[in-house]
Structure 1
């Protein structure tokens, strides 16, 4: 798979090829200029095309997806209105803690691949290898998955052969994949804006319906909160707790992707300032969007409504659509379906970004063949993109029912990957705090730090492990064994352990001692980074813009 030692790599001026440094085919190391953490190679070959507003909106794009518009109904049905609200609030708190941890480490070391590269610096090359390929696999499978979901949404309006729409979406995705990074940023910016506007619209519409603002409809208030919890599997308080806990998996899926905003750190303008700022605003967005949406849905639709359990994959299963249809408002289903379609394609684009940049980061450290270091003259790792687009052809399996079943099994292999990524992010931050203490370095020297993170990272770390281990708890209850659910919940754990153990045995790697983590070097690079300048403070009404500024 490897290219020749003279593979063309873009120069600073983007016009002339230069000789690529020698590297072992797999598992070797690429020499970096003076051992820099942010390598000279990624500085030269990647383009800083993501502005502050792009990074802000990528964070929103990861937090708002089809899970919010379509998935809330299932959570209400299994946990009740209050159980679902508490479940999403709990995962939202974990995500906020994880994002703060990610922001602190990314501000110190804004490298391509983000926490995958951080895992090697703060832990072990074997861990970086295992987590990196797990992220790459999940992202590669995510593209055909989202394309398949988009096709289902399109079929809400038309019965044209699904293969036609798969072809169209693959071509469009390929164009985005090889385009200048700023093109991706602009697409995500406007898609995220659409999502924000739709959330605001459905929340306001829900309140109008709930408060009796629709002619012929009586005021509902908190009528459906008479039974705030729903018993699930068991009876009594234990059954209500299981209903609450069952929401965790849906909520994690809804928030999946928020960690990808730092994956393209080397392609972000002033990443040491912009990435932490984006991470900080996740808390406000989660509070405003998800909790408001869950609260309103719980007020509009009863938990025992059979329509909430629909698996159509289109807007018809959205609790907002159910409420609007009952109120006689007919335009809402198509509107929500259209925005869900953009959300699915946005998620596909985000998987492309995460997959290609993580693979590029693995190649930089010798954990992947060096052919994946090739970039276009405008700074896009085109060989990484080519491999990812090749995987997107798996979306054609949705045309055949039997093939689609196989595809779903392949997708199940990476379903727990999100939690494993979050565990890695928080563990890396914990190692950062421990290393700073051992080396006698004050946290005041970090480019960005919040004193609560030394505690919040432990909370998120332990919580994610518990959720990962209990994600398939239903299969262990009497009469509920299901092989597909078991595979979906747990197969990723032994896969990552095998990758980690295999690499460690073959290359005999060791965990980096806390004393040897290059914090002084990283701090010096941050101090001498010409882009590391304070961002302009918001003035006037802009100070209150916590949504997309």
Structure 2
């Protein structure tokens, strides 16, 4: 197992205030009974980074940070493929599964508040080979998804004005890199504002849907559950009749929902830059049910009420607000002002998602470099405590967005996006595997998780096992439609299964080259991190006073 490596001479430790230096020096004394290398590396990393993400930033990022085009634009496709009840069930099942992911990430992140998320947990609690394989899987995913989000933002502008997309890609790209290269506090404030806009939009469109359903629209037409009766609660997917067609529609919606929930685990990727992470991260994890229920399940339910599953506009992709099921419902009801409002907030969502991917990708690459899984240059920090070399790499790949300007290159770029569409599923499976090793490591070492850890995920290990099994089945059956007679698609088959041999090649290739082994349960460095946690208690939160008691969004 590789310990945390020391930072090179480019780290700006000399710029840390003298008081901060004295505090960190006092904390970095030898940890009794633990690993000195882990302890020293831990304190050095926490010292090198600036803790610019406050608790309210983490709470809002967790609450609404990943709500984006998947919910606002692509959710209509779920209703079209499986019907209102099928879409509701699909989003509910995946929502409960990702809740388990959020809880276990919260437990690991609170104990090991270092940058890199699952890359770091894999290194310490499972096998360096998985840290290497899944790390590069995620890096590739972010390298392509960042320009994809910028391109989506450029397309959204076309809703109002038509200008060559290259202009908007350049503007958004420069803004995104500028945001990422300076203080992480800037990112936190932007995400806080974007999250507030998205929360207000979700609440607003759900209220609008309720008004339309009850006959309060300009056309005064009461809908109720009419669309659940005709065309019906389920859809016969791919024209297959009977219960099989309805089940396949539900199954396809579950794969669609994965995209909408992707990025839910990002709250721990910048844990070293989070103030009071052992309080902020668990608080964010505990609110996952509110987020899933209010922002996803309720929204999908309301969509199924106001738009029939056989509406052709649900599957007509424009990339702008015109394909949003809520815009379709508002247009049907005669409400004219809604499309521009929704398009504006979706535009901020695309930019927000790009910012989030930039932060997560650069911190994951930093974490890999710390353990020797990526070139050491990506460990370098600037005077603001930002891994500028990692940010620069992702900024360079923004140029992939220019491929969309050419029709031929756009097809290639679409394939690149499709190739990483399954990476979220593989990442979640990796989180489950690593957590299960951690859980059984605690059992082996007689560690009481509820007593000794800063946060213990509930209902373990049962929900993690159930989630891992579900995601494994979804991964294996992701391209099932290509095996149905007359439905073969090269693109669908490749995008559904190419990640499996890639991740296996990276994992076993690393093991053969570096002779790494799965760390035995009794050698997992859990106690070393517990000792660090116990020696450095975080200050108690200030009690809420006055109007602050009414704040339910962040602590």
TM-score band, normalised by shorter chain:
over 0.9
Find the aligned partners of 1:475 and 1:318 in 2 and give their Cα distance.
27
Listed as ranges, the matches of 1:352-391 within 5 Å are 352-391=358-397
1:292 aligns with 2:298: yes
Find the aligned partners of 1:150 and 1:451 in 2 and give their Cα distance.
38
Task: Look up the SS of the partner of 2:343 in the other structure.
Answer: helix
Find the aligned partners of 1:403 and 1:430 in 2 and give their Cα distance.
42
What is the CA distance between 1:259 and its match in structure 2? 0.9
Q: Deviations over 1:438-465 (max 9, x none)?
A: 1111122111114413211111111111
Find the aligned partners of 2:550 and 2:434 in 1 and give their Cα distance.
32
In the alignment, what sits opposite 1:500? Answer: 507
1:426–1:12: structure 2 CA closer, same or farther, 3 Å change rule?
Answer: farther
In the alignment, what sits opposite 2:31? Answer: none
Find the aligned partners of 1:209 and 1:437 in 2 and give their Cα distance.
54
- Contact preservation (8 Å) 1:273, 1:534: no
In the alignment, what sits opposite 1:198? Answer: 201
In the alignment, what sits opposite 2:150? Answer: 147
1:231 aligns with 2:236: yes
1:526 aligns with 2:519: no
Q: Deviations over 1:328-369 (max 9, x none)?
A: 111111111111111001110011011100010011111111
What is the CA distance between 1:541 and its match in structure 2? 7.1
In the alignment, what sits opposite 2:428? Answer: 422
Q: Deviations over 1:485-522 (max 9, x none)?
A: 11111111111111111111100100000010011111
Find the aligned partners of 1:64 and 1:244 in 2 and give their Cα distance.
22
What is the CA distance between 1:316 and its match in structure 2? 0.7
1:105–1:75: structure 2 CA closer, same or farther, 3 Å change rule?
Answer: same
Find the aligned partners of 1:538 and 1:95 in 2 and give their Cα distance.
30
Find the aligned partners of 2:473 and 2:255 in 1 and give their Cα distance.
12
Find the aligned partners of 1:546 and 1:422 in 2 and give their Cα distance.
28
**Among 404, 413, 417, which residue is 1:407 paired with?**
413
What is the CA distance between 1:545 and its match in structure 2? 4.5
1:200–1:78: structure 2 CA closer, same or farther, 3 Å change rule?
Answer: same
**Among 249, 253, 260, which residue is 1:254 paired with?**
260
- Contact preservation (8 Å) 2:65, 2:195: no
1:137 aligns with 2:140: yes
- Contact preservation (8 Å) 1:273, 1:533: no
- Contact preservation (8 Å) 2:46, 2:114: no
Find the aligned partners of 2:363 and 2:350 in 1 and give their Cα distance.
20
**Among 325, 332, 336, which residue is 2:342 paired with?**
336
Find the aligned partners of 1:496 and 1:505 in 2 and give their Cα distance.
14
Q: Deviations over 1:198-228 (max 9, x none)?
A: 0000000111111011243221111111111
1:269 aligns with 2:272: no
Find the aligned partners of 2:208 and 2:169 in 1 and give their Cα distance.
33
- Contact preservation (8 Å) 1:37, 1:109: no
- Contact preservation (8 Å) 1:61, 1:346: no
What is the CA distance between 1:33 and its match in structure 2? 5.5
TM-score by length of 1: 0.93
In the alignment, what sits opposite 1:448? Answer: 455
- Contact preservation (8 Å) 1:301, 1:323: yes
What is the CA distance between 1:155 and its match in structure 2? 1.0
**Among 47, 72, 86, which residue is 2:89 paired with?**
86
TM-score by length of 2: 0.92
1:62–1:428: structure 2 CA closer, same or farther, 3 Å change rule?
Answer: farther
1:305–1:463: structure 2 CA closer, same or farther, 3 Å change rule?
Answer: same
- Contact preservation (8 Å) 1:324, 1:332: yes
1:450–1:538: structure 2 CA closer, same or farther, 3 Å change rule?
Answer: farther
In the alignment, what sits opposite 1:398? Answer: 404
1:15–1:390: structure 2 CA closer, same or farther, 3 Å change rule?
Answer: farther
- Contact preservation (8 Å) 2:65, 2:191: no
Find the aligned partners of 1:539 and 1:491 in 2 and give their Cα distance.
54
**Among 222, 225, 233, which residue is 1:222 paired with?**
225
Find the aligned partners of 2:519 and 2:254 in 1 and give their Cα distance.
33
1:109–1:156: structure 2 CA closer, same or farther, 3 Å change rule?
Answer: same
Structure 2 residues not aligned, in runs of 5+: 1-6, 19-34
Find the aligned partners of 1:421 and 1:235 in 2 and give their Cα distance.
35
What is the CA distance between 1:183 and its match in structure 2? 0.3
Task: Look up the SS of the partner of 2:13 in the other structure.
Answer: coil
539-548 or 303-312, larger mean C-alpha shift: 539-548
Find the aligned partners of 2:506 and 2:339 in 1 and give their Cα distance.
44
In the alignment, what sits opposite 1:26? Answer: none
Structure 1 residues not aligned, in runs of 5+: 17-31
1:13 aligns with 2:19: no
- Contact preservation (8 Å) 1:203, 1:296: yes
1:299–1:35: structure 2 CA closer, same or farther, 3 Å change rule?
Answer: closer
Find the aligned partners of 1:472 and 1:339 in 2 and give their Cα distance.
33
Listed as ranges, the matches of 1:479-498 within 5 Å are 479-498=486-505
Task: Look up the SS of the partner of 2:160 in the other structure.
Answer: coil
Q: Deviations over 1:64-101 (max 9, x none)?
A: 11111111110001100000000000010011011001
1:183 aligns with 2:186: yes
In the alignment, what sits opposite 1:433? Answer: 439
RMSD: 1.9
Find the aligned partners of 1:147 and 1:103 in 2 and give their Cα distance.
29
Find the aligned partners of 1:187 and 1:38 in 2 and give their Cα distance.
30
Find the aligned partners of 2:514 and 2:421 in 1 and give their Cα distance.
28
1:117 aligns with 2:120: yes
In the alignment, what sits opposite 1:28? Answer: none
**Among 96, 101, 104, which residue is 1:101 paired with?**
104
Listed as ranges, the matches of 1:319-334 within 5 Å are 319-334=325-340
